[in-house]
Amino acid sequence: MRTIEDLDVSGKRVFVRADLNVPLDGDRITDDGRIRAALPTIAKLRERGARVIVAAHLGRPKGAPDPKYTLRPVAARLGELLGTEVAFATDTSGESAAAVSAALADGEVALLENLRFEAGETSKDDAERGAFADRLARLADLYIGDGFGAVHRKHASVYDLPQRLPHAVGGLVLAEVEVLRRLTVDPERPYAVVLGGAKVSDKLDVIDNLLNTADRLIIGGGMVYTFLKARGYEVGSSLLESDQVETVQGYLQRAQDKGVEIVLPVDVVAAEAFSADAPHGPVDADAIPADRMGLDIGPKSVELFAAKLADARTIFWNGPMGVFEMEPYSHGTRGLAEALIGSGAFTVVGGGDSAAAVRALGFDEKAFGHISTGGGASLEYLEGKSLPGIEALDD
């Protein structure tokens, strides 16, 4: 893949597809990690005299403008972090975008409005998607793909646009791909994978592939209750995908046949209701009361998971261990993060809620080997799937 260094960007309008899909509370950004991750590529282009046009999506608007998904707050925060004004186009490829693009001077930056305000961005129809990519192409001379969190999507700005402009990969995407290759091509062993999050159905494909590459799978989060049910345990009112129990039983058997260790919690924090104020406490994983729900792994499980990570040389973590947003159920995720830091292994935090948890719980991001900006993209890579946004840049 060509990099920024392979392109002459001075005086050129450079379209940067970034991932600025940040969480908002009204118009307040609650976690600016993805904006900060985009800064090095944008700063490098500015230093080399490019006229930088940044584009991204936010949330899931239905192909039409929706004020609650505007990128205007992101433009303001991006400007603060860059230390310069960021012009904001009130559309994606119309009059405002054209005017803002044309007005840029060398080293200046603009941000387009939410790409998903246009139906053509996410359309499954090649012609509709291509027509939108044609309009975007008129705004720029060059294309830089740097939105790793979107490279698993066959979207106009990710897949079709780089086919219409001279293009290169941005530093963020390049770093992400290098890390993921380190996880998939002869990883240093023992290789442990920690999976959490809500639904086991979201992780079936990655579990299937990891049974061929990992030495140890450690399971927590809401998805673990389907695993516990597959072991024949009572899970009370915990999150359960009953239609996946048989599938999980098959994975447990495959893991045993392949010699891959699957580690499940030995205790959980069970509460009477999904609330920080509900009566709660640790119970053994095989003795969850019928009227309680598991909302975190318990203290004995934290110790077990830490012990299972202590000898690992490579660790990939995707998904919190519990409802970390509520303080009583944050201790499992905190303990796991501390175990990763203390392991001495090459540690990768696989984006999404895991990365948000690291920041929300106050950990120094530099204490981990790598924090990914794309949970879904990371998982699909580990599943062995081809990523359209990488395909489009890989020539």
Annotated binding residues for ATP? 203, 294, 325, 351-354
369 is catalytic: no
130 is catalytic: no
Instruction: Give me the catalytic one of 164, 199, 231, 254.
Output: 199
376 is catalytic: yes
49 is catalytic: no
**Cα(214)–Cα(195) distance, integer angstroms:** 12
Burial class of residue 131, CB neighbours in 10 A (0-12, 13-18, 19+): middle
**Cα(60)–Cα(362) distance, integer angstroms:** 28
Burial class of residue 362, CB neighbours in 10 A (0-12, 13-18, 19+): exposed
The DSSP secondary-structure symbol of 3 reads: B
**Cα(339)–Cα(303) distance, integer angstroms:** 9
CA-based nearest residue to 240, from 219, 263, 224, 218: 224
**Cα(50)–Cα(44) distance, integer angstroms:** 9
**Cα(318)–Cα(371) distance, integer angstroms:** 10
Which residues belong to the annotated binding site for substrate?
Answer: 19-21, 34, 57-60, 116, 153
Token pair, residue 149, equals 């969190």
Which residues belong to the annotated binding site for (2R)-3-phosphoglycerate?
Answer: 34, 116, 153
Binning the chain into helix, strand and coil, the percentages to the nearest 5 are 45, 15, 40
The string of DSSP letters for 311-378 reads T-SEEEEES-SS-TTSGGG-HHHHHHHHHHHHH-SEEEE-SHHHHHHHHHTT--GGGSSEE-S-HHHH
Angle at 224 between CA 281 and CA 19, to 5 degrees: 110
Count of C-beta atoms within a 10 Å radius of residue 124? 7
Which residues belong to the annotated binding site?
Answer: 19-21, 34, 57-60, 116, 153, 203, 294, 325, 351-354
Give the catalytic positions in this structure. 34, 199, 352, 376
